[in-house]
A and B are shown apart, each in its own frame.
Chain A
Amino acid sequence: MAERAIVHSVLFVAAIVAAFGAFLGLFVGTANGSGLWGIVIGAAVTAVIAVVLVKAVPSSAASRRGARWGLAILFLIVGFLLGALPGAVIGFFAGLFFAWVTYWLATNRYRDSLPPYATSGQVLWHYTFRTICGVIFFFLIAPIVVVMPLSFNAEDFFTFTPEMLSFDPAGYSLKHYQDFFFNSQWQQALRNSVLIAPTATLLSVGFGTLAAIGLSQPHVPFRRAIMAILISPMIVPLIISAAGMFFFYSRVGLQGTYLGVVLAHAALGIPFVIITVTATLVGFDRSLTRAAANMGASPVRTFFKVQMPLILPGVISGGLFAFITSFDEVVVVLFVGSAGQKTLPWQMFIGLREQISPTILAVATILVAISICLLVTVELLRRRSERLRGLSPG
């Protein structure tokens, strides 16, 4: 099969490849002493490579493939010399990437996904926009991703040890997970969280759903004002709610009890349920309840048989948000709870303050996994609800 011809000037290709090379060089250079030299050397080396690939390699499929793998192996060796095993892995993929990006640019393939009439400016913006999105995504996700390998650290510090960086099994350990599962403090905290969060969620869902249904009736007076008050825990700074709850709950004897923490978390969760249920009620057809009434069903029966099944996705996603709020909450529980109601976030908070132990990272990794599962469930439910309401093709 004939390969596509090279259509761009070698200067254009070399300049862009050099920009990528400078970016990689920044990291390699920083790891080896000087970021500035890394940028300069990286740009120069990759520019030369681009020129060689474009000018010196014959345009047959076999020789291009050969050039690509050759470059990958070359980078692998250089990476191994600079940074042992991890360097070799990074080098290998960097080599593949540079060969690919050079031909991608030189053969005009980067315009394939764009309409033929797009101007250079539009093409530039198309890829700049994607780069910006990628960078934002990177900044959001990087701190969470960094935590995960650190939780397997064999040492008791938040540090990537040389053993870890060279993928030596001795640098990794499950001991922080073991500490979490066998330490009575962490287990007590887990029990408290597992007890408090579902109970608070049930209360939030019950009250929040009823409030949302009531507030969606057109004849309720002061609807907006009541709504504003009910969702205020989401808007008022948490520390202010927490201090207020501390003094109020102390006087009525709820401070330092499970019931107090559950009520406080329920109050924090209710706004989420109200907002999601109100949103699903917008698409709810009122004539269904009237039809049910017309056929003799009581309001309660109508609610459970007609309305509830239709708004269920909103109720469940509100409930999940309420659950996560309670499960992740640390400020209010520090005020309203006492040591007997220590939840997981509380235990993590004191662990971070008094003793920087990677057990916190192990727990964080577990919590992130749970949160991802819950959010995936929410997303699936949302899609189901859209499908049911005919908003998107099934």
Chain B
Amino acid sequence: MKLTATLLSATALTVFGLPAFAGSHMADSMTLVSWGGAYQKSQHNAYVVPYLKMNPGVTITWDESSSEAVPKLRAMNEVGNVTWDLVDAEGPDAIRLCDEGLVIEVDHDKILADGDDGSSPSEDFGDMIISDCHIPQIVYSTTFGYRTDKVGNRPPKDVCAVFDTRTYPGKRALRKSPVANMEWALICDGVGIEDVYDVLATRRGQDRALNKLATIKDDVIWWSAGADTPQLLADGEVVMGSTFNGRLFSAIEEQNQPIGMLWDWQMFDIDGWVIPKGLPPEREARVLDFLKFATDTQRLADQSKWISYGPARMSSAPLVGKHAELGIDMAPHMPTDPENSKNTFVQNYNFWGDYKDDIDAKFQAWLAQ
């Protein structure tokens, strides 16, 4: 009975103790939502650790739920109980959340810090600002890695190696989504990059891309989580596979796996923060305070010490240094490095915003055939 009483009172204390705020104008606890893994670790080390040092008494909790950010924010909004304070979202998700009014619109120049070179935030971020709700952090790319020991003495140099099962026999890992796969299929079917989206907008163009993918369909393992491809490559299950470039960097440099990078026609994407709508004023004040700090020039440059994603601010680029633990130069591993970015394209948010639902339905039906 005594044990019971102790346990119950301990529970009661925790239950009622947590939500109590210190009463200042800023909340003392904050829930950040991100993707987990090495990426979240880089955010934790670059933004959260120094922020907590400056603000003792604040507690920050990570929730690895960014992959279901849209449905969860919808549900929270519906019941009026928003438990997240700041959400890391990919470009397309951010645009969707913004359109649905689930996240707040911000004035980048008003809430963010100026660049170290004195430029205003909107100049400093430039093209990276793709939505009024989205505060960019990094540029990453979806690109290919291949097993160096399974390609003989002909390491693949161009993305069409993915469709060349004669020269590179074996399974390939591709994302279970039409985005990027359709573009690569068309490029390798002879469509020029400037025409890709015009072709893809037509029914015939979509069939053309799917027909090209059909030539390797039996050799494809479809992935859905970013960790799948590195695992498949490490196992030797696949000879090449697409994933986020940071995952490949970590498998190659940190885990010493026999994997090489195939940067040709990598697809850039932008990742950043969104602020959920409906936060109480003291929580929103805390979020804005953190956000201003976490997206300044130095913090974004610091992040690249832990992961090979390019900072979204131009003023951060010269500050990119060496890896925090391995001591290697990070610049050559960035997707934006000139050596790596000879052939690139940026995910076309406008196109996929308009066509994603149609093409995705078609793609999934094709997968099930």
Contact = CB atoms under 8 A, between A and B. Distances in A.
A185 B62 contact: yes
A302 interface: no
Nearest to B236: A159
Interface stretch (B35-43, B116-124, B211-219): B35-43
Interface in A226-275: 246-247, 250-251, 253, 255-259, 262
A340 B228 contact: no
Contacts of A224: none
Contacts of B231: 157-159, 356
A157 B15 contact: no
SS class of chain A's interface: helix, strand, loop or mixed?
helix
B307 to A, nearest CB: 12
Contacts of B15: 257-259
B368 interface: no
A252 B92 CA distance: 33
Nearest to A160: B235
A152 to B, nearest CB: 16
A250 B80 CA distance: 8
A353 B230 contact: no
A157 B31 contact: no
Contacts of B19: 257
Contacts of B4: 202
Contacts of B36: 350-351, 353-355
B226 interface: yes
B228 A356 contact: yes
A250 B228 contact: no
- Sorting the interface of chain B by its residue count into under 10, 10 to 19, 20 to 34 or 35 or more gives 35 or more
Contact of B62 (A247, A339, A351): A339
Nearest to B68: A334
A327 B235 CA distance: 31
Interface stretch (B6-14, B96-104, B159-167, B322-330): B6-14
Contacts of B75: 246
A156 B234 CA distance: 10
Interface string B316-355: 0000000000000000000000000000000000000000
A353 B223 CA distance: 11
B42 to A, nearest CB: 13
A202 to B, nearest CB: 6
Given A257-B15, A355-B37, A355-B227, A198 B255 contact: no
A328 interface: no
A354 B11 contact: no
Contact of A255 (B61, B79, B225, B234): B79
Contacts of B65: 339, 350
B253 interface: no
Interface string B57-101: 000011111010000000110011101000000000000000000
Contacts, number: 90
Which of B40, B61, B67 is the most central at the interface, judged by chain A CB atoms within 10 Å of its CB?
Answer: B61
A82 interface: no
Interface in A154-192: 155-159, 185
A132 B255 CA distance: 42
A377 interface: no
Contact of B255 (A155, A199, A202, A340): A155
Contacts of A381: none
Contact of A199 (B8, B18, B64, B235): B8
Interface in B247-265: 254-255, 257
B192 to A, nearest CB: 36
A157 B11 contact: no
A251 B75 CA distance: 12
A312 to B, nearest CB: 15
Given A353-B225, A356-B230, 5 more contacts: A156-B255, A258-B11, A259-B15, A353-B67, A354-B36
Interface of A: 155-159, 185, 195, 198-199, 202, 246-247, 250-251, 253, 255-259, 262, 338-340, 342, 350-351, 353-356
28 contacts: A155-B255, A159-B234, A159-B235, A195-B10, A195-B11, A199-B11, A202-B7, A202-B8, A250-B76, A256-B81, A257-B18, A258-B14, A258-B15, A259-B15, A339-B61, A339-B62, A339-B63, A339-B83, A350-B36, A351-B36, A353-B36, A353-B227, A354-B40, A354-B227, A355-B227, A356-B228, A356-B230, A356-B231
